[in-house]
Amino acid sequence: MTECTSLQFVSPFAFEAMQKVDVVRLASLSDPELRLLLPCLVRMALCAPADQSQSWAQDKKLILRLLSGVEAVNSIVALLSVDFHALEQDASKEQQLRHKLGGGTGESILVSQLQHGLTLEFEHSDSPRRLRLVLSELLAIMNKVSDSSGEFFIKSSELFESPVYLEEAADVLCILQAELPSLLPIVDVAEALLHVRNGAWFLCLLVANVPDSFNEVCRGLIKNGERQDEESLGGRRRTDALCFLCKMNPSQALKVRGMVVEECHLPGLGVALTLDHTKNEVSEDGVTDLVCFVSGLLLGTNAKVRTWFGTFIRNGQQVRDKYLYKLRVRIFWQLVKEEETL
């Protein structure tokens, strides 16, 4: 997803701080890093907690102090003040209308007739209407995904492409998913984001603001992926998005690789995660995780896995798959180093 390369992603340090609700570490983040995590932090500060302990009360005070003076907090507070029950009812009615009329209708219950493009409408709208604009657009993409019969597409959307409003659109997206989880299951939202530009960036922000969802989202994206991913646009975008997620949470990268092997989907992702994990690896006995991973797949007892990965290698040799090429280069140089030590 080359369109995301200029955007700031959530760092591993910031993600771990969110996972552990480590307020001291959160307080050490730069303003741009903290900005990406505001939807979750503002909800933490405002919503009644399940944890009634004294330690959490102290942490909450520190979070409130951390948020004080941050200009963007006010707009997120306004988003959280909306009647989400009424919003969910209107969204359900819109879903029923789209289903009844075949999904291609321009009618909308969530938003009245637009006078301008989505970006201008978003700019001039108050918080309730901003929520409705993003929700209507997101539901339309989710519906198109469910009706596409597996055929991949890219949906052009001003809301997810305008560089001026990316952070504000991400705020709305995170609040919508947090407040309407039944209407917007996080795995379904993640799947929809693959179909828009800057989707990997939005996906990482969404997961960073719901850090406990990391494994669930990765598992869902892998399950919905293709058995062989090296040629299709959808496969490449899915692999890239999962790589971004694992860079944000590197401690879980090998677990995600295990999901790849378990599902026998996205072999390029398994190789990419292994290459990243072993790039600085030094092995005393000469047997690296890279060699163990590849030999385990090709020589293991699981015939399904052997066939799956063998097909990836055969196909990759024909089209010069970038991950397979990097794998061969890495193994070659490892053999050279081993010969030099003999």
In tens, the pLDDT along 244-290 reads: 999 999 999 999 999 999 999 999 999 999 988 877 665 555 457 88
pLDDT category of residue 102 using cuts at 50, 70 and 90: low
Domain limits for position 245: 212-341
- What pLDDT shows up at residue 139? 93
* CA–CA gap between residue 295 and residue 301 (Å, rounded): 11
Per-residue tokens: 274:
């292994």
For residue 331, pLDDT over 90 is answered with no
Task: Mention every residue, 6+ apart, whose C-beta is less than 8 A from residue 330.
Answer: 275, 278, 290
In tens, the pLDDT along 194-246 reads: 999 999 999 999 999 999 999 999 999 999 998 886 678 898 999 999 999 99
Flag whether 231 is in a domain.
yes
Flag whether 124 is in a domain.
no
Residue 106 or residue 6, greater confidence: 6
Average pLDDT estimate for 135-151: 89
Flag whether 29 is in a domain.
no
- What pLDDT shows up at residue 338? 64
Per-residue tokens: 107:
């009618």
Residue 165 has a CB neighbour count (10 Å cut-off) of 19
Flag whether 58 is in a domain.
no
Residue closest to 194 by CA, chosen among 36, 35, 3: 3
- What pLDDT shows up at residue 287? 56
Average pLDDT estimate for 152-180: 94
Flag whether 134 is in a domain.
no
For residue 115, pLDDT over 80 is answered with no
Flag whether 61 is in a domain.
no
Average pLDDT estimate for 72-87: 95
Q: 93 vs 96, 97, 198, 204, 252, CA distance in Å? A: 5, 6, 29, 30, 39
> Which amino acid makes up residue 188?
D
For residue 104, pLDDT over 70 is answered with no
Task: Mention every residue, 6+ apart, whose C-beta is less than 8 A from residue 93.
Answer: 109
Count of structural domains within the chain: 1
Flag whether 248 is in a domain.
yes
> What's the predicted TM-score (pTM) here?
0.91
Mean confidence (pLDDT) of the chain: 88
* CA–CA gap between residue 193 and residue 320 (Å, rounded): 28
Flag whether 148 is in a domain.
no
- What pLDDT shows up at residue 6? 82
* Cα dihedral value 32, 38, 41, 42, nearest 10: 140
* CA–CA gap between residue 15 and residue 207 (Å, rounded): 9
Q: DSSP characters for 35-93?
A: HTTHHHHHHHHHSPPS---HHHHHHHHHHHHHHTT-THHHHHHHHHTS-HHHHHHHHHH
Task: Mention every residue, 6+ apart, whose C-beta is less than 8 A from residue 98.
Answer: 105, 139, 140, 143
Per-residue tokens: 98:
């789209």
